Amino acid sequence: MKRPEQYAYASKETVMQTVLDQVKPVILAAAIALGLSVHCTQAGAAEQQTALFAGGCFWCVEADFEGVDGVTEVVSGFAGGMVEDPTYKQVVNGGTGHYEAVEITYDPSRVTYAELVDLFLRSVDPTDAGGQFCDRGESYRTAIFAAPDQAGVANAAIAAAQAELGQQIVTPVLPASAFYPADDYHQDYYKKQDLILTRFGPRSKEKAYKLYRAACGRDERVRELWGNAAPFVGG
């Protein structure tokens, strides 16, 4: 004959088994959901692509493109030159062959490379081979640095923009180049609040940027060229 504690033990075992039978599907479903989430996150990360544009002052190009839907990051830096990892001073002094450029990371399911090129061309003066606006010299020239699968898209966009503008576009499509990020001083310059000394006295970088952009005539010239097609005028 079974003792009372044996009945109790058997009863606990039965209860535990019942609980496990009920919990197993929940645990399995949670594991599957977690696995799918990780897979989707990894797949999403793998889908990120980059575009590399030189459009004069990289502060301005970065400011313009950081607000574009589908763009996840914009980094200011240098591309197209002969010196490895140049400093800002080296580039602006000339002789390195570098352009001030931005590397744009984007989600192609939300914005395409062709759309980014269209926005870029209409945010600069692509008829000027000597620089951009008040900034003159080789480091301020415009260019599109394109991977082999991007070059055809970029050239087609230039042809369409040239037909729309009715003027020759001199912005070249160049082979993809090593990109060297500028130092932190230049990243997100247009919205930083730390003070710098300007000819107008101490100003935040944000304020100094706005004064510079207005004085340089960037928006005025882009508006003159592109009219309502200019996407970032006043940015």
CB 120 within 8 A of CB 55: yes
Catalytic choice (40, 57, 134, 216): 57
Residue 210 included in any domain: no
Predicted pLDDT at 4: 40
Q: Are residues 59 and 30 in the same domain?
A: no
Residue 231 included in any domain: no
Q: What is the pLDDT of residues 200-224, one digit of tens each?
A: 899 999 999 999 999 999 999 999 9
User: Is residue 9 predicted with pLDDT exceeding 50?
Assistant: no
Residue 118 included in any domain: yes
User: Is residue 186 predicted with pLDDT exceeding 60?
Assistant: yes
Q: Are residues 16 and 89 in the same domain?
A: no
Distance CA 207, CA 195 (A): 9
Q: What is the pLDDT of residues 117-143, one digit of tens each?
A: 999 999 999 999 999 999 999 999 999
Q: Quick one: pLDDT band at residue 33, thresholds 50, 70, 90?
A: low
Query: Comparing C-alpha atoms, which of 120, 58, 65 is closest to residue 91?
Result: 58
Q: Is 57 a catalytic residue?
A: yes
Number of domains in the chain: 2
Question: What residues make up the domain containing 1?
Answer: 1-47
Q: Are residues 162 and 147 in the same domain?
A: yes
Predicted pLDDT at 85: 97
Q: Are residues 86 and 26 in the same domain?
A: no
Predicted pLDDT at 24: 57
Residue 92 included in any domain: yes
Q: Are residues 66 and 42 in the same domain?
A: no
Residue 209 included in any domain: no
User: Is residue 16 predicted with pLDDT exceeding 60?
Assistant: no
- Kindly report the average pLDDT of the chain as a whole number: 88
Q: Which residues of 76-97 are buried (b: 16+ CB within 10 A; e: fewer)?
A: bbbbbbeeeebebebbbeeebb
Q: Are residues 39 and 119 in the same domain?
A: no
Helix H or strand E encompassing 197: strand 195-198
Q: Are residues 56 and 171 in the same domain?
A: yes
CATH number of the domain enclosing 158: 3.30.1060.10
221 CB-near residues (< 8 Å, 6+ apart) = 125, 133
